Structure 1
Amino acid sequence: MAEATPMDTDPQQTENPDGMYPIAVLLDELKHDDVSLRLNAVRRLGTIALALGVERTREELVPFLDESIDDEDEVLLALAEELGSFVEYVGGPAYAHVLLLPLENLAAVEETVVRDKAVESLSKISTVFSPGQVEEHFLPLVKRLSSGDWFTSRTSACGLYAPVYDRCTPAIRDELRKGFSVLCRDDTPMVRRAAATNLSKMIGKVSKDHLIADLLPLFNGLSQDDQDSVRLLTVEALIAIAKVLSAPESKTHLLQVMRNLCSDKSWRVRYMVAEKFVEMSKAVGDVLVREELILAYVHVLKDSEAEVRTAAATQIPGFSALIDRDAILRNILPCVQTLVSDASQHVRASLATHITGLAPLLGKDNTIEHLLPLFLQLLKDEAPEVRLNIISKLDLVNNVIGIELLSQSLLPAIVELAEDKQWRVRLAIIENIPLLASHLGQDFFDEKLSNLCMQWLGDAVFSIREAATANLRKLTEVFGVDWAKRTIIPKVLELSSNQNYLYRMTTLFALTTLAQVVTPEVVKDLIVPTVITLSADPIPNIRFNVAKSFEQLTPILRKPELGNTLNGDVRGTLNKLNEDPDVDVRYYAHRALIAAQ
């Protein structure tokens, strides 16, 4: 019989601290053939460690886990995550270094997500180390990973320099910069990608002198890498560097790199530049924006790739806010006018989301002259997404040009979209109606949009009917109960006698929703009698929804202003429904009666 190893011994069937699960079972699960059981055990490593105690955890459990590295990626990912929070289980910061070995091995596995999680946990653990522990335990680990034969360990090493850099002596910092520079020039593209990703973190740690002397050459090299997947990652580093340098220094050290990135032969690099253009512009300062980046941005807006133009369109209001109005009219607006008719609907949709942000920057007169025609064109776009995006931002326009011009110019298009054959378009209109109503005013709404709101209650699509009932509640909150009592509620009550059962069903939903925002008087005199009438409907679905409606209304019906309504007519109706031949009606009636007690 083979001799038992420490982890094979039965720890006296120790119960976990909650007294629920034998530790021996969890230990067995760590070695089980079933992946799901091993994963469950890894997720409960803290329970095992608490039962074993800090000494046995250090001497037995952690070495055992280190030997278990050859496992499914899902299990290894969970293990890498758990070990990052394991410091207290091994005895605190003084013993945290014992966790480095299994995490070092995890940082070298083939699966990227496991390595990334191991690096994250190593960085987390390094924060509890003293400077002495960093030098004695952590730096040797970083050096081993940096010099590993297989690229996986070197990619992980790239993320471990910045976390400890500022807690090292000047001499060791020099070593760290040299070690990181070697990784930036690694022969393997995957390692250079990892170095480029972590370069901005290093930039935030080093002094300005060392940034210019040591990291800028690395940045320049990576920005000219033959792999576009490396070059695109240097945009973040450029922004980080620009935040440290002064405007003249940025012009000296970064201008040519920015020019190269903006006109890079790879669309993926140009896409990253377009996506970060505002952030980059703010970092380099006003002078460079005026002298160089306006024309560079125009170049990006006119890019040959739709993906780049889509990203550039998202930056229009942000970048325009950095330049004066004349520059917007002279340089940006012509590009916007072109993008409105772009062949790609994704570009037009992106533009529709952000074009309204130009209105506050251009002012009333320029918005009316230059932007309103573009808004109208986008509102008539063949792509629903484009129309939805422009509608959702119209409040920005209203704040600039006023309600009168908005209603004259844009509302006809909105009314047309409210009857669009695409139900998602109609849904988006409904969701924006309360906002439009607050801007348009009660009279205009009653004249132009009130009938549309009622039409939606009978829509063939349930999501539209549901949204329409919520819309009535929001409109009541905007215009007041008196308006609802005079305008909306009578029309809703008429639907209760409609031959189409969907209209009668929607009446229930609408009245139940409106009851939350109207006065007790309206509930007692108008809503409750109508719901009671519907309790005799021939359709069982209507009857059990009556019961559900009363269950939801119970808190309101308890108010003193409603007198004996709950215990009188409502309870009598529910008792009758509780004897209904349909089982579902009886079920919901019984629930409502319980709620009413």
Structure 2
Amino acid sequence: MAGVVGTGTGPGAASGDGDDSLYPIAVLIDELRNEDVQLRLNSIKKLSTIALALGVERTRTELLPFLTDTIYDEDEVLLALAEQLGNFTGLVGGPDFAHCLLPPLESLATVEETVVRDKAVESLRQISQEHTPVALEAHFVPLVKRLASGDWFTSRTSACGLFSVCYPRASSAVKAEIRQYFRSLCSDDTPMVRRAAASKLGEFAKVLELESVKSEIVPLFTNLASDEQDSVRLLAVEACVSIAQILAQDDLDSLVMPTLRQAAEDKSWRVRYMVADKFSELQKAVGPKITLNDLIPAFQKLLKDCEAEVRAAAAHKVKELCENLPTDGRETIIMNQILPYIKCPEVRLNIISNLDCVNEVIGIRQLSQSLLPAIVELAEDAKWRVRLAIIEYMPLLAGQLGVEFFDEKLNSLCMAWLVDHVYAIREAATNNLMKLVQKFGIEWAQNTIVPKVLVMADDPNYLHRMTTLFCINALSEACGQEITTKQMLPIVLKMAGDQVANVRFNVAKSLQKIGPILDTDSLQGEVKPVLQKLGQDEDMDVKYFAQEAISVLALA
């Protein structure tokens, strides 16, 4: 490369006094030596243009060696280079010359920055498919071996992602070598390497012969699932899905399930979390018999786990677990082995959030009997955020349970929330009423909700009297002009004489809100005089909101 640099970087190269054919390389060299990172990054991003200008032979003999020998310390530049090289096969002469791209990518696969290594591995995986079987064994497999036996852990972690792409097309002798290298990485002294191997264990298992999976992969899986590092053990759980999909039922029971049962009770919550997170995939992989005998007992424990994150992860899998159970006996399993274990708020809330799906599985009658105690308990939970969550699911419950069940069992809860000591709960309860009216209709509102709301106007607690106004604001549009004018408006007007200024100015705000729903006679004959009186109130806030309402409603 010294000759290229020497003849191509001077001013003559640009003006035509030197060897003009070397100009693209010279420009690239100058730009890559520039202190401006963005300029260097831009030059890397136009590598394909430079390669086209050079032609395939000079790209192979000059550009690629230069890129291989030149190490930049900016991760952005290296990342862009790793990405570019993955699409370079056509620019070096096609698949017969794909191996020319391996040296620069091998260097990039050993750098310290993880994202650069990952991108280099991604490009190497892409290029491996373009090698003929002969070229693969001659060029690609040796690269994998070098990375796998490298002194630095960075190269060994990169190697883990390359075994599965070269194994299927290798000869029997080379396959045995590849498996041996992978085994070594699974027991590497460095935890980062074992993590990388564990993360690729399932992928590697998919391309191996069945006997090799049973004799080699399963023992590796067992060892990694017992690793001293929980970050390794949790990745072994992920590999379990792929391994379980390969093995027969009898082999699963003896080779995999003891390790999986151990993972479900692992001392690290992160491992138990991974079991919960992958539960649906595991369920499909092991089949219904093992699910019933092993997975459901494990799932029961996960639902009661001491860590909230584990319980939440399990809760998110309840719906899929139920859907994937065999139809024969499904309802019995859910009623006897799943629902009784739903004790924690986050688990029960997740069930309720997927109520429509669970309802399809076991039927609303069974569901309502099982969930009603849980709903009531959640509605009165000491943590206000739990109460808030159940309020938000109330319209969903209403739609699933029907108006009769709702009125009998849940209506009183909805009204109780209106006088909760936490404002956020009272606000959410108000919005909930509006959604229920939209679901059950105006007649239901007139008979069931509106009378109970209006009674609160005489409550000794001024906060509850204000809640009446907030409810009227929310319900007026849903209920329409007649109910608003005949039932709600008189109560609002009466409250204009409240002794508490906060109530009076909220009366002004309510009149402004419901004004557009009212007819002209009511506005002029009833609303206007009250707002004018409030506009002369001794309290400045009352006066301000009254005058604003008069202006907005054009009643001046």
Q: Settle same-fold status: TM greater than 0.5.
A: yes
Q: Identify the match of residue 107 of structure 1 among 106, 109, 122.
A: 109
Q: Which amino acid aligns with 2:43?
A: A
Larger deviation: 38-47 or 405-414?
A: 405-414
| Corresponding residue number in structure 1 for 2:367 | 367
SS of the equivalent of 1:138 reads: helix
Shift of 1:232: 0.9
| Corresponding residue number in structure 2 for 1:312 | 314
How many angstroms apart in 2 are the aligned matches of 1:443 and 1:138? 76
Question: 1:59-111: per-residue Cα shift (whole Å, max 9, x none)?
Answer: 32222222332312232222222222222333332322222111111111112
The answer to whether residue 330 in structure 2 is matched with residue 324 in structure 1 is yes
How many angstroms apart in 2 are the aligned matches of 1:45 and 1:487? 73
Q: Kindly tell me: are residues 412 and 143 of structure 1, through their superposed partners in 2, closer, same or farther at Cα, counting changes over 3 Å?
A: same
Shift of 1:158: 0.6
| Corresponding residue number in structure 1 for 2:489 | none
1:500-511 equivalences in 2 (<5 Å): none
| Corresponding residue number in structure 2 for 1:401 | 401
| Corresponding residue number in structure 2 for 1:182 | 184
Shift of 1:197: 0.3
Q: Identify the match of residue 242 of structure 1 among 230, 241, 244.
A: 244
Larger deviation: 348-357 or 325-334?
A: 348-357
Q: Kindly tell me: are residues 434 and 140 of structure 1, through their superposed partners in 2, closer, same or farther at Cα, counting changes over 3 Å?
A: farther
1:312-461 equivalences in 2 (<5 Å): 312-321=314-323, 322=325, 324-336=330-342, 338-340=343-345, 353-354=353-354, 357-381=357-381, 386-387=386-387, 389-390=389-390, 397-398=397-398, 400-406=400-406, 408-410=408-410, 413=413, 439-441=439-441, 443-444=443-444
| Corresponding residue number in structure 2 for 1:92 | 94
How many angstroms apart in 2 are the aligned matches of 1:311 and 1:347? 9
Shift of 1:139: 0.6
Shift of 1:298: 1.3
Q: Which amino acid aligns with 1:367?
A: L
| Corresponding residue number in structure 2 for 1:151 | 153
Q: Identify the match of residue 205 of structure 1 among 204, 207, 213.
A: 207
Shift of 1:258: 1.5
1:518-537 equivalences in 2 (<5 Å): none
How many angstroms apart in 1 are the aligned matches of 2:129 and 2:193? 24
Q: Check whether the contact 1:349–1:389 (CA below 8 A) recurs between aligned residues.
A: yes
- Percent same amino acid at aligned positions? 44
Q: Check whether the contact 1:363–1:400 (CA below 8 A) recurs between aligned residues.
A: no
How many angstroms apart in 2 are the aligned matches of 1:7 and 1:383? 73
Q: Check whether the contact 1:30–1:41 (CA below 8 A) recurs between aligned residues.
A: yes
Q: Kindly tell me: are residues 444 and 285 of structure 1, through their superposed partners in 2, closer, same or farther at Cα, counting changes over 3 Å?
A: same
Q: Check whether the contact 1:159–1:198 (CA below 8 A) recurs between aligned residues.
A: yes
| Corresponding residue number in structure 2 for 1:533 | none
Q: Which amino acid aligns with 2:330?
A: D
Larger deviation: 391-400 or 420-429?
A: 420-429
Q: Check whether the contact 1:267–1:305 (CA below 8 A) recurs between aligned residues.
A: yes
Question: 1:424-481: per-residue Cα shift (whole Å, max 9, x none)?
Answer: 9968996x999866643454467778999xxxxxxxxxxxxxxxxxx99xx99xx9xx
Shift of 1:153: 0.6
Shift of 1:23: 9.0
Unaligned 5+ segments in structure 1 are 15-21, 341-345, 453-470, 489-498, 512-541, 547-597
Q: Kindly tell me: are residues 52 and 365 of structure 1, through their superposed partners in 2, closer, same or farther at Cα, counting changes over 3 Å?
A: same
How many angstroms apart in 2 are the aligned matches of 1:181 and 1:335? 41
How many angstroms apart in 2 are the aligned matches of 1:384 and 1:58? 67
Q: Which amino acid aligns with 2:280?
A: V
Q: Check whether the contact 1:314–1:354 (CA below 8 A) recurs between aligned residues.
A: no
SS of the equivalent of 1:186 reads: coil
Q: Which has the larger radius of gyration?
A: 2
Q: Check whether the contact 1:417–1:426 (CA below 8 A) recurs between aligned residues.
A: no
How many angstroms apart in 2 are the aligned matches of 1:318 and 1:401? 21
Larger deviation: 130-139 or 32-41?
A: 32-41
How many angstroms apart in 1 are the aligned matches of 2:117 and 2:83? 10
Q: Identify the match of residue 272 of structure 1 among 274, 277, 280.
A: 274
1:63-78 equivalences in 2 (<5 Å): 63-78=65-80
| Corresponding residue number in structure 2 for 1:172 | 174
Shift of 1:56: 3.0
How many angstroms apart in 2 are the aligned matches of 1:227 and 1:13? 62
RMSD: 4.5
How many angstroms apart in 2 are the aligned matches of 1:388 and 1:51? 65
Q: Check whether the contact 1:403–1:439 (CA below 8 A) recurs between aligned residues.
A: no
How many angstroms apart in 2 are the aligned matches of 1:355 and 1:39? 52
Q: Check whether the contact 2:348–2:374 (CA below 8 A) recurs between aligned residues.
A: no
Question: 1:166-194: per-residue Cα shift (whole Å, max 9, x none)?
Answer: 22223322222222112112222211111
Q: Kindly tell me: are residues 386 and 127 of structure 1, through their superposed partners in 2, closer, same or farther at Cα, counting changes over 3 Å?
A: farther
Q: Check whether the contact 1:353–1:389 (CA below 8 A) recurs between aligned residues.
A: no
How many angstroms apart in 2 are the aligned matches of 1:385 and 1:48? 60
How many angstroms apart in 1 are the aligned matches of 2:296 and 2:335? 12
How many angstroms apart in 2 are the aligned matches of 1:82 and 1:185? 34
Q: Which amino acid aligns with 1:33?
A: E
Shift of 1:407: 5.2
Shift of 1:235: 1.0
Q: Which amino acid aligns with 1:339?
A: C
Q: Check whether the contact 1:166–1:205 (CA below 8 A) recurs between aligned residues.
A: yes
Q: Kindly tell me: are residues 349 and 184 of structure 1, through their superposed partners in 2, closer, same or farther at Cα, counting changes over 3 Å?
A: same
How many angstroms apart in 1 are the aligned matches of 2:206 and 2:76? 33
Q: Kindly tell me: are residues 350 and 40 of structure 1, through their superposed partners in 2, closer, same or farther at Cα, counting changes over 3 Å?
A: farther
Q: Check whether the contact 1:250–1:284 (CA below 8 A) recurs between aligned residues.
A: yes
Shift of 1:6: 6.2
SS of the equivalent of 1:204 reads: helix
SS of the equivalent of 2:232 reads: helix
Larger deviation: 89-98 or 192-201?
A: 89-98
How many angstroms apart in 2 are the aligned matches of 1:332 and 1:86? 54
Q: If the length of structure 2 is used for normalisation, what is the TM-score?
A: 0.71
Shift of 1:351: 5.9
SS of the equivalent of 2:161 reads: helix
SS of the equivalent of 2:170 reads: coil
| Corresponding residue number in structure 1 for 2:302 | 300
Q: Check whether the contact 2:237–2:274 (CA below 8 A) recurs between aligned residues.
A: yes
Shift of 1:261: 0.8
How many angstroms apart in 1 are the aligned matches of 2:28 and 2:411? 66
SS of the equivalent of 2:62 reads: helix
1:18-29 equivalences in 2 (<5 Å): 28-29=30-31
